[in-house]
Amino acid sequence: MYRLSCIHCGAEYAPGEIIYTCPKCGHLLTVEYDLNTISVTRDEWDRRPLSVWRYRELLPVTIKPVSLQEGGTPLYHLERLGEELGLPHLYAKHEGMNPTGSFKDRGMTVGVSMALQLGMKSVACASTGNTSASLAAYAAKGGVPAVVLLPAGKVALGKVAQALMHGAKVIAIRDNFDRALELVRELCIKHGIYLLNSVNPYRLEGQKTIAFEAVDQLGDVPDRFVLPVGNAGNISAAYKGLRELEGLGFIDRLPMMTGIQAAGSQPVVQAVRGSLPEVVPQTNPETVATAIRIGAPVNAEKALTAIRATGGTAAAVTDEEILSMQRDLARKEGIGVEPASAASVAGIKKLVEEGAIDRDERIVCVVTGHLLKDPETVIKQCPSPIEIEATEQALLSVLHL
Ligand SMILES: *Cc1c(COP(=O)(O)O)cnc(C)c1O
Ligand SMILES: [Zn+2]
């Protein structure tokens, strides 16, 4: 049993209404369950495979879901990096291990399933890349046509390749992500297409399972939960999910929700650090971490609540710090991620340097997307392969043997 409710004025709406914000006040909607009608036990969950659908009692889908077996991603103990940073309990949840290589799959398995459940005939999104890759794949699996709007020239190669190959109609607009989102919202509302950006409250339902899995894998609530923040949907979703676990009595405290942004695109950080009542949009966001190159985060209101209500914090990291951590994760831990994903761990490094973190904390950093998403940024940072004549002598010579 659930309904849609407005996070601002509290107005309630039937779950079948095709709305993305509150028709009365324009603020964000959330999916609210009657937790006392949910009778599942933790043991029951534990008996199912680790995946988004392990937690189906806390998801809105009642039909057979459109699934590519998303979730169940590894939680790695970062032993080497943790030792360097003086953090013995530092973990990374590798969301790049999802079917299309990012956590967006958790949202899309639920979002595309809801599109079918609600009888919608087509789906659309604006995207910095991963949302489009994921929507294209799930729309293919669900048999619905998909339209995706991208900021022209600002999407990593692997992501465009995925959206095209999975058969979405891919449109590049000559402006940034924020404008693409405005356009697609209008399009969807006027033409009855189902909008699957993170303003869609059902999509976030899938994404909250990152936090559920992390708690199950760690066997406890982490002290701190760290995410890179773009549109701020993921950090909001994780917080919402954890509140539900608390409401069910499955956990008894919440982690400090910690959001990391790029220095060139940090409206949430500025609001948190400046104790502003709300996020002030930034007009020309810029960063190598294209997945979080967003100046007007749609879920800002939810994210500020998540961070403030848990005593969390936010920090900004430079592109240099992001790329340096991308290399460290790859070379010291064997974990290959795209730049935005490295931001969470780079942010922890920064907070340690600021003295803002207790070294005994159990910290889960979400690393959000796979290395192969953005091969161009990788190639730019690494030396070229050493090309030689095909002789033993040439081989020994380059190896200095
Ligand atoms: C979408 C995305 C983010 C940002 O998530 P939000 O929910 O928009 O804050 C971060 N990293 C990657 C790789 C992403 O694809
Ligand atoms: Zn309202």
Res. 181: pLDDT tops 90: yes
Q: What is the rounded distance in angstroms from the CA atom of residue 106 to the CA atom of residue 88?
A: 29
Cβ 96 under 6 angstroms from ligand 1? no
Q: What is the rounded distance in angstroms from the CA atom of residue 247 to the CA atom of residue 35?
A: 7
Q: How far is the CA of 13 from the centre of ligand 2 (A)?
A: 10
User: Of 321, 186, 193, which Cα lies nearest the Cα of 263?
Assistant: 321
**Where would I find the H helices in 166-232?**
177-191, 201-207, 209-218
Across the beta sheet with 90-94, what order do the strands follow?
Answer: 75-77, 90-94, 363-367, 224-228, 256-262, 313-317
Q: Mean pLDDT across the stretch 361-384?
A: 97
Which positions make up the binding site? 130, 230-234, 368
14: three-class secondary structure by DSSP: coil
Containing structural domain, residue 282: 75-101+203-381
User: Residue 1: what pLDDT?
Assistant: 87
Q: How far is the CA of 353 from the centre of ligand 1 (A)?
A: 25
Q: How far is the CA of 331 from the centre of ligand 1 (A)?
A: 23
The confidence band for 343, taking pLDDT boundaries of 50, 70 and 90, is: very high
Give domain status of residue 338, yes or no: yes
Q: What is the rounded distance in angstroms from the CA atom of residue 78 to the CA atom of residue 186?
A: 44
Instruction: Name the token pair of 167.
Output: 């058969």
Q: How far is the CA of 277 from the centre of ligand 2 (A)?
A: 18
Which atom of ligand 1 is least distant from the CA of 228? 10
Asked if 269 and 285 touch (Cβ cutoff 8 Å), the reply is no
User: Residue 344: what pLDDT?
Assistant: 98
Q: How far is the CA of 360 from the centre of ligand 2 (A)?
A: 41
Q: Mean pLDDT across the stretch 298-304?
A: 97
Asked if 288 and 261 touch (Cβ cutoff 8 Å), the reply is no
Instruction: Name the token pair of 323.
Output: 């790329």
Give domain status of residue 125, yes or no: no
Q: What is the CATH number of the domain that holds 233?
A: 3.40.50.1100
The confidence band for 25, taking pLDDT boundaries of 50, 70 and 90, is: very high
Q: Mean pLDDT across the stretch 38-47?
A: 96
Closest listed ligand to the CA of 24 = 2
- Which of 73, 97, 125, 130 best tests ligand 1's pocket when mutated (most atoms within 8 Å of CB)? 130
Q: Which residue's C-alpha comes closest to atom 4 of ligand 1?
A: 230
Q: What is the rounded distance in angstroms from the CA atom of residue 260 to the CA atom of residue 393?
A: 49
Cβ 369 under 6 angstroms from ligand 1? yes
Cβ 231 under 6 angstroms from ligand 1? yes
In angstroms, what CA-CA distances link 124 with 67, 186, 244, 296?
A: 18, 11, 29, 19
Beta strand residue intervals within 130-174, DSSP E: 146-151, 169-173
Give domain status of residue 353, yes or no: yes
Give domain status of residue 67, yes or no: no
Q: Mean pLDDT across the stretch 128-154?
A: 97
Digit-coded pLDDT (tens) for 278-293: 999 999 999 999 999 9
Q: b or e along 149-188 (b: 16 or more beta carbons within 10 Å of the residue's beta carbon)? A: bbbeebbbebbbebbeebebebbeeeebbbebbeebbebb
Q: What is the rounded distance in angstroms from the CA atom of residue 389 to the CA atom of residue 393?
A: 9
Give domain status of residue 392, yes or no: no
Residue that is written with structure tokens 């669900």 in the block: 142
Q: How does the average pLDDT of the chain come out, rounded?
A: 97
Q: How far is CA 304 from the centre of its chain?
A: 16
High-pLDDT (> 90) share of the chain, %: 100
Give domain status of residue 70, yes or no: no
Which positions make up the binding site for pyridoxal 5'-phosphate? 130, 230-234, 368
Q: Which residue's C-alpha comes closest to atom 8 of ligand 1?
A: 231
- Which of 105, 261, 292 best tests ligand 1's pocket when mutated (most atoms within 8 Å of CB)? 292
High-pLDDT (> 70) share of the chain, %: 100
Res. 273: pLDDT tops 90: yes
Cβ 267 under 6 angstroms from ligand 1? no
Cβ 236 under 6 angstroms from ligand 1? no
Digit-coded pLDDT (tens) for 54-91: 999 999 999 999 999 999 999 999 999 999 999 999 99
Q: How far is CA 106 from the centre of its chain?
A: 9
Digit-coded pLDDT (tens) for 207-254: 999 999 999 999 999 999 999 999 999 999 999 999 999 999 999 999
Strand partners, 90: 363
User: Of 102, 87, 126, 98, which Cα lies nearest the Cα of 351?
Assistant: 87
* Structural domain count of the chain: 1
Give domain status of residue 365, yes or no: yes
Residues near 183 by beta carbon (within 8 Å), at least 6 away in sequence: 126, 149, 173
Which atom of ligand 1 is least distant from the CA of 233? 7
Q: How far is the CA of 175 from the centre of ligand 2 (A)?
A: 30
User: Residue 211: what pLDDT?
Assistant: 98
Closest listed ligand to the CA of 162 = 1
User: Residue 332: what pLDDT?
Assistant: 98
Cβ 230 under 6 angstroms from ligand 1? yes
Give domain status of residue 3, yes or no: no
Asked if 91 and 76 touch (Cβ cutoff 8 Å), the reply is yes
Cβ 363 under 6 angstroms from ligand 1? no
User: Residue 86: what pLDDT?
Assistant: 98
Res. 378: pLDDT tops 90: yes
Q: Mean pLDDT across the stretch 127-132?
A: 96
Q: Is 234 exposed, middle or buried (0-12, 13-18, 19+ CB in 10 A)?
A: buried
